[in-house]
Amino acid sequence: MTMAHIPNRPIDQFFPHVCPSDSQQAATKVLEEFDDVANSLKIRHFFVLGTCLGMVRDKGFIKGDHDIDVGVVCSNSELLALYHKLVKTGFIHGSNGTRHNFHLYKHKPYIMLDVFPLDPQEFKEFDTVTYHGRAYHVPHPVKEYLRRHYGNWRVKK
């Protein structure tokens, strides 16, 4: 997956943002709006990293986690369409990350959404979690995914 066509705008420092756990109403709205756009384009998307950990272990956002992490499995053209539709619906592009990801912001206080284009060979099946009445995907098997990333993921640190 290449992000060659997504502009890099290193302006994250201009968007002071809050942790999703500190503004759950705004974070939930950001999450739902992303979910709606990705679903409208039929792009497979799922929680990864700290957001996956929080939704599975804590049933919500982890205190102190600074963003919402979502993975997408799609072609380059679908990724570009997702990016443009998110920007069209009011998401603001902050910068491209260091791991082929990009940061988007929405709402005040700003909530950072970190989008990771991921390998479709690694992410073929998904489990489901529910947050605020909506079903969202997480990698399958989620417990193995969390163990690989966090070791003893059941213990809060």
Q: Provide the residue range defining the domain that includes 86.
A: 16-150
> 8 in a domain, yes or no?
no
**Does the pLDDT value for residue 157 go beyond 90?**
no
**Residue 94 has which token pair?**
């902050």
Alpha-carbon distances, residue 74 vs 24, 34, 39, 82 (angstroms): 28, 15, 12, 10
> 9 in a domain, yes or no?
no
Q: For residue 20, name the pLDDT band (cuts at 50, 70, 90).
A: confident
Q: For residue 97, name the pLDDT band (cuts at 50, 70, 90).
A: low
Q: How many domains does the chain have?
A: 1
Going 7 to 14 to 29 to 150, the CA torsion angle's sign is positive
> 36 in a domain, yes or no?
yes
Residues 55, 128: contact at Cβ < 8 Å?
Answer: no
Cα separation of 82 and 3, whole Å?
A: 12
> 86 in a domain, yes or no?
yes
CATH number of 70's domain: 3.30.460.40
> 49 in a domain, yes or no?
yes
**Does the pLDDT value for residue 16 go beyond 80?**
no
> 156 in a domain, yes or no?
no
> 3 in a domain, yes or no?
no
> 157 in a domain, yes or no?
no
